[in-house]
Amino acid sequence: FKKQSKISDFPASYRDLSFSLDNHENLGELSAMIKKHKDSSKLMTDCFIFDLFENKKQNILKVGYRFKFQAIENNITVEETEAVMNPLIKESIEIDGVNIEGL
């Protein structure tokens, strides 16, 4: 049977990132890297693609990811969110052909 996880009484915090990819192969690598960060984080409770756009003329794939953060014992701080997001951002832009809009 599946173990029930405790539901937090504290509000969730959300962060969105828009990635630009030069090719579709990068999406698998990006998704795997994001999953690795989610699995290793106690505070990132969910992440999913909320927007996907392909520009065939420029051969660019734009992917919008939403990251949900929530703590069981307290309100989550900006610093706690940044501690998870900064390494994720750094690692994602090291993937060849992946850029983040607005950074």
Q: What is the pLDDT of residues 27-46, one digit of tens each?
A: 999 999 999 999 999 999 99
3-state secondary structure of 22: coil
Q: Are 61 and 23 contacting, i.e. CB atoms less than 8 angstroms apart?
A: yes
Please report, rounded to a whole number, the percentage of residues in the chain having pLDDT higher than 90.
75
The pLDDT-based confidence of 56 (bands split at 50, 70, 90) is confident
What pLDDT score does 6 carry?
Answer: 75
CA–CA separation, 95 and 100 (whole Å):
11
Mean predicted confidence (pLDDT) in 65-83:
94
pTM > 0.95: yes or no = no
Within 10 A of 46 (CB to CB), how many other CB atoms are there? 12
* Angle CA 88–12–28, to nearest 5: 35
pLDDT in tens, 6-34: 788 899 999 999 999 998 889 999 999 99
pLDDT at 102: 78
Of the pLDDT bands very low, low, confident and very high (cuts 50, 70, 90), residue 84 is very high
